[in-house]
Amino acid sequence: MQGVDRTRRVGQLIRRELASIIARELPGSALGILSLTAVSVSKDLRVARVFVTALSPKVTEAGVAPYLNEHAPALRWQLGQRVKLRRVPEIVFEYDGSIERGARLSRLIDGLESPDGENDGP
Q: What CATH number is associated with residue 18?
A: 3.30.300.20
Q: Where in the sequence is the domain holding 85, given as residue range(s)?
A: 2-97
Assigned domain for 17 exists: yes
pLDDT of residue 112 exceeding 60: yes
Assigned domain for 121 exists: no
What confidence tier does 28 reach under pLDDT thresholds 50, 70, 90? Answer: low
- Domain tally, the chain: 1
Q: For residue 116, what pLDDT is reported?
A: 60
Assigned domain for 118 exists: no
Assigned domain for 116 exists: no
Q: Read off the pLDDT of residues 53-99 as tens digits, 9 standing for 90 and up.
A: 887 766 676 778 888 888 899 889 999 888 888 888 999 999 887 76
Three-class SS of residue 50? strand
